[in-house]
Amino acid sequence: MGIIRTNQIKQKLKQKQPVFDVRITILDPELVEIAGMAGVDTIWVDGEHTNFNWERAQSCVLAAELHGITPILRPTELPGYREYMIQRALNIGFQGMVVTGIRSPADIQGILDIMKFPPQGKRGIGEGRVFERAGEQVHQGPEILQALNNEIFTAVLIESVAGVNTIDEICAIEGVDAVGLGHRDYALDAGLPDFSMGQEGMQSALRTINAAARRHGKAWFGDGSSIESFKRAAAEGALLFSIGRETKVWQKTCKNVAQYRQIRGFS
């Protein structure tokens, strides 16, 4: 491994290649290993809605590095602790963030300041795997810090009407690599009747976000949970695709038991 680990997400997006993620809520490096052997590009570790553990998270990062996967984190939105999570996660080897709760350009700029070394941000230099890997070279000049900055991936999930209304300004910010819609929280904020993706209020928000991404040359998320949805989103220009959450895949498999019982005539 080189001094600075290449971010596979950013490399593939530059080449207009699709990027596939699997979302991890159970912090198990064996799940990451399975994803890597299957050809997944990135794991998206949920640090907001799960029983998060730093030691298990670092084990997942190590497994990701071993299998050529880019590890990214979705930190909590809790003020103060979010900033702590971002700094610690980057120091142990996470290569990007999926940030939520962003309602304005100022919100995401504040996050980018934490993620990037000067002059692009205000991140400090200290102990941690990233610095140990770079060794003394991290202190030899700003070009090393700039190279580290270049390998950080930042995606913004818009979950509010205010975020949709300011999406053009958000996409215009240097350091924002991708945008998407956090549809459940958006539905609640917008007063939509349910979480269905097909309703006009949801589709209107999606169109606005994706159009802003196109204008500013940023990537956006598409649905990769099925072949049909992947083809549809890819035809529209999406390059980032989530194939699902590990618990959903497991749930789908377990539900087959009911079908098996019916096939054999058992209730």
| Confidence category of residue 264, pLDDT binned at 50, 70, 90 | low
Give the model confidence (pLDDT) of 102-118 as tens digits: 999 999 999 999 999 99
In 39-182, alpha helices (H): 54-66, 81-92, 105-115, 129-134, 142-150, 161-165, 167-171
Between 111 and 133, the more confident residue is 111
Beta-carbon contacts of residue 102 (< 8 Å; ≥ 6 apart): 108, 111, 156, 157, 158, 159, 163, 170
The per-residue pLDDT for 246 is: 85
Query: Where are the chain's structural domains?
Result: 8-263
- Count of CB atoms within 10 A of residue 99's CB? 22
Nearest to 12 by CA among 223, 239, 244: 239
The per-residue pLDDT for 1 is: 45
Task: Specify the pTM.
Answer: 0.90
Distance, in Å, from the CA atom of 238 to the CA atom of 213, rounded to the nearest integer, reads 10
Please give the span between the terminal C-alpha atoms of the chain, in angstroms, as a whole number. Answer: 55
CA quadruple 15, 20, 21, 22: dihedral, nearest 10: -160
Q: What percent of the chain has pLDDT over 70?
A: 92
Beta bridge partners of 220: 179
Give the model confidence (pLDDT) of 144-190 as tens digits: 888 889 999 999 999 999 999 999 999 999 999 999 999 999 999 99
The yes-or-no verdict on residue 35 having pLDDT over 90 is: yes
The yes-or-no verdict on residue 134 having pLDDT over 80 is: no
The yes-or-no verdict on residue 212 having pLDDT over 50 is: yes
What's the CATH fold of domain 8-263? TIM Barrel (3.20.20)
Contact between 63 and 29 under an 8 Å Cβ cutoff? The reply is: yes
4-13, 129-138, 219-228: the lowest-pLDDT one: 129-138
